[in-house]
Structure 1
Amino acid sequence: MNYWLVKSEPDECGIDDFVASGDKPIRWDGIRNYQARNFLRAMRPGDQVLLYHSSCKQIGVAGVLEVVTAPYVDPLQFEPDSDYYDAKASTDKPKWSAVDLRLVGKARQILPLATLKQLSALQTCALLTRPRLSVMSLTENEWQAIIKALGHLQLFSEAKG
């Protein structure tokens, strides 16, 4: 199993969207950075993912997700009306990928960036060293440090009730 962190603005696709979707996965698409895309392409079903809220009032880790599909072609790259349209992409040579993610648990409260910066296990983590990267891998040590700092998660069954 691999560990990942994905960033999103909560009004675009946040933890509450995953809670509202129930067991139905949400397509994680629209990634238009090559390094982030390559990380996305390395995801496999069963991998664990932290959802990080960015560009909002409460910045930080909002919950845990799980990868449910292998990477596939991001259909938005072919839709001219989409913000994620890429005129250079073709069905013969697609440039961008997507995966489906589903909720594992919602953080009882956002784990803020200020707290993450204090964790010694994260000092070389891309979250702190490459702050603009929207998809990144985490080491098992980084994952465990964040999960420990999160404390208890509200599991999906609790979050929807």
Structure 2
Amino acid sequence: MTAPRQKIIPCLWFETEAEEAARFYVSLLPDSRIDEIQTAPGDYPAGKAGDVILVEFTLAGSPYTALNGGPEFKFNEAVSLQVDCADQAEVDRLTEALSAVPEAEQCGWVKDRYGLSWQIVPNVLTELLSNGSPDVRLRVFNAMMQMKRLNVAALEAAARG
């Protein structure tokens, strides 16, 4: 008997790059892998029989699908994937790997080469905004609003005042 599937699985729509994107994403985070690649059994509006149509993959332990659906729909900033990062090194590594549109960077948000938005967030930011006094939270928030890539040392300095 197969294991039960997660009830809700995000599906990411690509024009033709589903497999390429999934392989790129799983290369970035631990506990990630390609689970299954499905090809079209027949011709369809965006491709032909034998083309990769769906890629099931696990990203940091969570299931996703990537669909080659054609050019009709594009990603926008209304949906993003947030990555909680342990430290500045992880923030820097993921920002460098994912950011393909530097002018779109703001407050830890980046846009990758496929147009998907990501939030690269150091854990310290969440802690400071959740547990700090009102003054600390305001200083940290104001510091964050001035940043493109989030900077752990600068956020901690803002918290100290």
Q: State the TM-score, normalized to the length of structure 1.
A: 0.30
Greater relative CO, 1 or 2 (CA 8 Å, sep 6+): 1
Larger radius of gyration: 2
Higher-strand-fraction structure: 1
Q: State the TM-score, normalized to the length of structure 2.
A: 0.30
